[in-house]
Amino acid sequence: MNQNRNTAPKTEPICPPGPPMSPTGAIIFDMDGVLTDSEWFIAEAGRLMFWETHRVEITHGDFKDFMGMGENRFLGGVAEKYRIPGFEIERDKERTYAIYVDLIKGKLKPMPGAVEFVRSCKDQACKGQACKDQACEGRTSEGGAPAALKIAVATSTDYIKMMANLEAIGLAQGVFDALVNGLEVERRKPFPDLFLEAAKRLGVEPGRCWVVEDSVSGVAAAKAAGMRCLGLTTTTTAEAIRSRGADLVVKDLSAVRVEDLL
């Protein structure tokens, strides 16, 4: 009887292929368009604030050019556009946030797959001792145990809105290893400051980080930081995301596995 020991099907390595010298150590998430979508709520809060405080009628469309730039520019840009006298950024922003927090109660929802993906990250580590693929070498911690994946949020928004959003979608308490908001860096996207600060706090080299982004400025910031980028087409076209150098493009976090980034 002829027994051919070479006919067994080949199996894929446990860990997905990747650059041997840059194993993934962290995943950094943008907020809006990635974890949740608060665009309507913050625009409505701003609209109500401008009418209540200044008796100026603003539309949601007036905020479009300032989305993703942080609330100082979000509100300040509209105030400049309409030359609103008496506009005071700290006072008016505080009132906008108060309205915003009330608006999102029970209404702000996570983006598809976002909560599940983040929670998968919490338990994800490369099974280095079992994986024979060269790409997995170096993914273990000192002592040989699997190296835990770290996760962070890095968003242009202020601390108050960041925490309100995370609370609303059930990801506030002890989920992320680091949180960076727009008030903590000098420059916002497309500059890399937010993501570099997140990597610093995580203690992970930029080249070992993935950034999850949905905007062209965010993708540009990730690449400027020397990080790999997962682009989502939740708010932007795939073509626009790819044009800025996204390494992988999917519709949202329901269409990708954590293992795909390791």
- Tell me the catalytic residues: 30, 32
Phi and psi at residue 32, to the nearest 5°? -70, 130
Tokens of 242: 């790819």
DSSP state of 160: H
The Cα–Cα gap between 153 and 143 comes to 29
Find the angle CA(49)-CA(73)-CA(160) to the nearest 5 degrees: 65
List the one residue out of 131, 171, 162 whose CA is nearest residue 16. Answer: 131
List all residues 6 or more positions away from 1 whose beta carbon is below 8 Å from its beta carbon: none
